[in-house]
Amino acid sequence: MALIPSDIEKNKRSQYQKFLDITPSSTASWKVIGIGISEASVDYNPSVDTEQWIIEDSARNDHTGNQKQLSVTQRCYKNDPEFEFINAGRDKLNYVSHILEIDTWNGNNGSYPAKKSDCLVTVTSYSGEEIEYTIYFNGDPTEGTASIADGVPTFTPTTSL
């Protein structure tokens, strides 16, 4: 008797791709986040309000939102457009852009679930060899789909009724 279903499929982090818009004030120019990066994950930082009435033995919780952020330590590679964009914002305040998250694990026929968010980029450390930064997701994401051709994504927002 098999305990593990035969259709179980292992997920890989390379199937969750993130792209940064390096020209946020004009037409989007998406560049992959990943060159020189060996570890990165999105932290959701949930906001939870807890309340316990005097007539209750246990508290109740209300998940009111997330404060998503992506903390990155990246080796510096010249001519990597994503690094060059981050590096240009080292001394800038309110350095804003857009981030695109694409789930290639759950796609069909070259169309993948995707989320586009406004973001704030802050550089926390720079050694010349490595740069550390955090991308803070702003507001609710725009849900949609993306296709990727020659490493360049095209995002299509989901139309709402």
Q: What's this model's pTM, rounded to 2 decimal places?
A: 0.89
pLDDT at residue number 108 = 87
**Tokens matching residue 24:** 């946020």
Q: Could you report the per-residue pLDDT of 53-84, keeping only the tens digit for each? A: 999 999 999 999 999 999 999 999 999 999 99
**Cβ-count burial 77-87 (b if 16+ within 10 Å, e if not):** eeebebbebbb
Distance CA 106, CA 68 (A): 21
Give 6's pLDDT tier (boundaries 50, 70, 90): confident
Q: Two tokens at 127?
A: 């050694």
Q: Is the per-residue pLDDT at 160 higher than 80?
A: no
Could you tell me the pLDDT band of residue 161, with boundaries at 50, 70 and 90?
low
Residue 143 in this model has a pLDDT that exceeds 80 = yes
Model confidence at 142: pLDDT above 90 = yes
Burial (CB < 10 A; 0-12, 13-18, 19+), residue 33, is: buried
Q: Percent of the chain scored above 70 by pLDDT? A: 98
Mean pLDDT of the chain: 94
Q: 45: which residues sit within 8 A by CB, 6+ positions away?
A: 66, 67, 68, 69
Burial (CB count within 10 angstroms: exposed 0-12, middle 13-18, buried 19+), residue 74: buried
Do the strands 42-43 and 95-103 form a parallel or antiparallel pair, or are they unpaired? Answer: unpaired
> For the segment 77-99, what is each residue's pLDDT rounded down to a tens digit?
999 999 999 999 999 999 999 99
Provide the H-helix boundaries in the chain. Answer: 81-88
- How does strand 60-66 pair with strand 30-32? unpaired
